[in-house]
Homo-oligomer: A and B are copies of this chain.
Amino acid sequence: MDLDARRIEAYFAFMEAGSLLQLLVDDQVRRDGNLSYPQFVLLARLADAPDGRMRMTDLADSAVHSRSGLSYQARLLEDAGLIQRTPSPHDDRSVTAAITDAGRDILARVMPGHLDAVRQGFFSVLDDSQVEALAVTLSAVRDRLRTLVPSATQRRRKAAGG
């Protein structure tokens, strides 16, 4: 098989595996934590951030969201008591989102089953060297795509008339 055909094969396999894995983990976070996947991702990002806090704009950019989309999800998470939004200390325009104890509890409840599902659906067919190779190549692809796909902030600047 020539290289071009290999590329197309890899690309479609990637997209389809992505759709299927989405369905799998969507289901898991819904069942085990009553969360949508976008909500799970936001919680996981916050939990990983220093102090469990991030500025709304940075969170939107990091999660590939428009700001309005993030505001929508943040409202749902805040109504559920899983995050809290407060004015930022040094810039009164900004809002800082922080994961709450309840948010961390939910995440702790969901994570084990989540990793189990991913292990079963994804890693069970790979050996250690393949996992290593995937971590390397997919990180490179992700970084490359970040440079190509405009962030929420960049899209907004463009729309404003730049």
List A residues at the B interface (Cβ < 8 Å): 3, 6-11, 13-24, 41, 64, 115, 118-126, 128, 130-135, 137-146, 148-149
Contact = CB atoms under 8 A, between A and B. Distances in A.
Given A119-B7, A122-B11, A131-B6, A148 B18 contact: no
B120 A148 contact: yes
Contacts of A144: 121-122, 124-125
B135 A9 contact: yes
Contact of A139 (B7, B9, B123): B9
Contacts of A24: 145, 148-149
Grouping DSSP codes into helix (H, G, I), strand (E, B) and loop, the A interface class, with mixed when no group exceeds half, is helix
A15 B16 contact: no
Looking at A15, A20, A124, A141, which has the most chain B CB atoms within 10 Å of its CB?
A141
Contacts of A19: 64
A137 B142 contact: no
Contacts of A133: 130, 133, 137
Looking at A9, A14, A123, A125, which has the most chain B CB atoms within 10 Å of its CB?
A14
B14 A15 contact: no
6 contacts: A7-B118, A17-B141, A17-B145, A18-B18, A125-B143, A133-B137
Contacts of A20: 64, 142, 145-146, 148-149
A125 B149 contact: no
